[in-house]
Structure 1
């Protein structure tokens, strides 16, 4: 059969499908279709099916190969930190959380106020990790905000030696405020575990305190990238690129990897921290839209930022409150009823986002208190440990960023927050407040989802600007 004949028969098949309704013509449709298909040579049918199916098969093979490679590259001797079940915020929009309920007392027992969900953000402004158990240390939750992405503030001037050029560079942290795509950068924390495959006390990541794995959307150029994209679409995801670094590099790892200690600016503070620039792929800088050189910076726990504004004094705690790469305080707490109340006051117009509590990037989300009840808390027991509530959280426009897609709404919830929650004279005339900044009273403690929340002291708060 010639190509022209095969092409004509193929058109006949398409025309049968276009003009014949199988419900109206019953067997006639199928008999005619069978007659036409029967005239097409078997090799031609095989080649046609192969051309249709081959890209899908290859794409799935590429996807499976990449998935297997990713599994093989998991940090040896470590387990992934985080909850193993669905999110404890999966039902956050349930009406039962909207108004809260009275605090349980011996005289009037009712439902307890509890910790609903807990989060750490290992890399500032990137995707969080949800926990069901957390270790609390002086800087807040263990593993929280230990890293930040930063751009080169000033290029190194001409200098006689490379060593001198390295010492004069200064970096500046970046956040979703200017680079909303940070919300789509996924972060995993892997911690040493003797029961994990490949565990050895002298293993690279065991010695390095575990590992941080970073993934971000990325499609390779050319046909291979197109196949990977097709495979990930079939799997309901997007193509990604990943890299990983030790969570807490040892001095020998610092030297071997070529990491450097350099200055980084975070708000009005300048601290010396570990620069892991050599491990950051250039594609991440391009994806985020950062024009200057991009680096990953790890906090130096020997030179932490001390907290004084509104915080308990050292003589009262027995230690000076400190923080890593958090904005200002070790812990951040949100009341889910407050989020739900604020959402109810957003404009009812197309495009206004649903208000997930995840937009506010708190460490601890509690349920039970009525909306904004937390505004007057001064000292609270959570589980078996006490915490000092230092001040309200003065909000910027970061909650306008969708925590999943990285899309930015032009005005909400920032506009409504500024209008309805301008409740703290110290924060400023046009600043809205939601959530509370917290300092651990004990240097070391623990917290679990479901822990009871009991206010012990109440009082007024007045925010102090940086």
Structure 2
């Protein structure tokens, strides 16, 4: 039996994640997932790839606000969970990989808080509902598939068996937090999610569209914000390399919107 065992969102791209017991699937990912983004002075996205200390920022949902704290700073900030922007406000064109996306600065005080902690100028921006960032056409299921500020797809799923198998090959076991999934499931064989083409979780249908290629971010310790060496990419490269890329997990697109909860059954209809 396959069962949804963990649900994660990462409200601000490349900051800490939030584990949930239930969440809503929207057209561009889980509700609140990667709708916020930090951009540099050129309005280009920043991530833990270049700035591993971003891992030390931890968001939490507090009522109608997203509260963000930092492990080494006493003062936190709170921004509206459902921000609204005046018609007179001008959107910012921000760059995420090859995409240019319309966004709004959340508020200057929040940008200043991040800038002071990081030591360089950044802005905290939000993707409004009107901003539609298309999934790469080669992997989209329909022409209307969109995503948030994620690297490329609305969802990422990883099996607990996959993590267990990796950890059995490692000198030190790693947390699933290294791999930043949205969904973790129990049961089944290691890495079987990479073969899934159509599956359901609870009452909702999903498509598996592309195994996830992994990068240097998996080498950042989420507790300390420090690059820990070559792992886990070194171990994964020995047996999980496809077309010169290390893969771990499956990128996913939802077929419909609705609610999911930990404990929902997972059923695979079609595999590659």
TM-score (norm. length: structure 1): 0.56
CA drift of 1:432 comes to 0.6
CA shift for structure 1 position 117: 0.6
Residue in structure 1 matched with residue 55 of structure 2 by the alignment: 183
Partner of 1:331: 155
User: Are 1:127 and 1:186, in contact at CA under 8 Å, matched by a contact in 2?
Assistant: yes
The structure with higher relative contact order (CA 8 Å, sep 6+) is: 2
Asked whether the 8 Å contact 1:145–1:326 carries over to 2, the reply is yes
Greater share of residues in strand: 2
User: What is the aligned partner in structure 1 of residue 17 from structure 2?
Assistant: 128
Q: Deviations over 1:43-85 (max 9, x none)?
A: xxxxxxxxxxxxxxxxxxxxxxxxxxxxxxxxxxxxxxxxxxx
**Deviation at 1:404?**
1.7
Instruction: Decide which of 106, 109, 124 is 1:276's aligned counterpart.
Output: 106
1:313 paired to 2:142: yes
Which consecutive unaligned segments of at least 5 residues does structure 2 have? none
Instruction: Give SS of 1:251's match.
Output: coil
- Partners of 2:84 and 2:142 in 1: how far apart? 33
Shift of 1:447: 0.8
What does residue 43 of structure 1 align with? none
Per-residue CA deviations over 1:166-219 (Å, capped at 9, x if unaligned) read xxxxx011111111111110101234xxxxxxxxxxxxxxxxxx221111144x
Q: Identify which of 421, 434, 443 aligns with 2:248.
A: 434
The Cα shift of 1:356 comes to 0.7
Q: Does 1:300 align with 2:172?
A: no
Distance in structure 2 (CA, Å) of the matches to 1:450 and 1:285: 40
* Cross-structure match for 2:3: 114
Q: Secondary structure at the match of 1:374?
A: helix
CA–CA distance in 2 between the matches of 1:400 and 1:344? 17
How many residue pairs were aligned? 271
Which structure has greater helix proportion? 1
- 1:396 counterpart = 2:215: yes
1:241 alignment partner in structure 2: 75
Match of 2:221, SS?
coil
Are residues 414 and 277 of structure 1, via their aligned partners in 2, closer, same or farther at CA, if it must alter by over 3 Å? farther
Provide the residue aligned with 1:288 in structure 2: 118
Distance 1:250 1:313, change over 3 A: closer
Structure 1 residues without counterparts, runs of 5 or longer: 1-111, 154-170, 192-209, 219-238, 315-319, 460-466
Q: Which SS does the other structure have where 1:181 is aligned?
A: helix
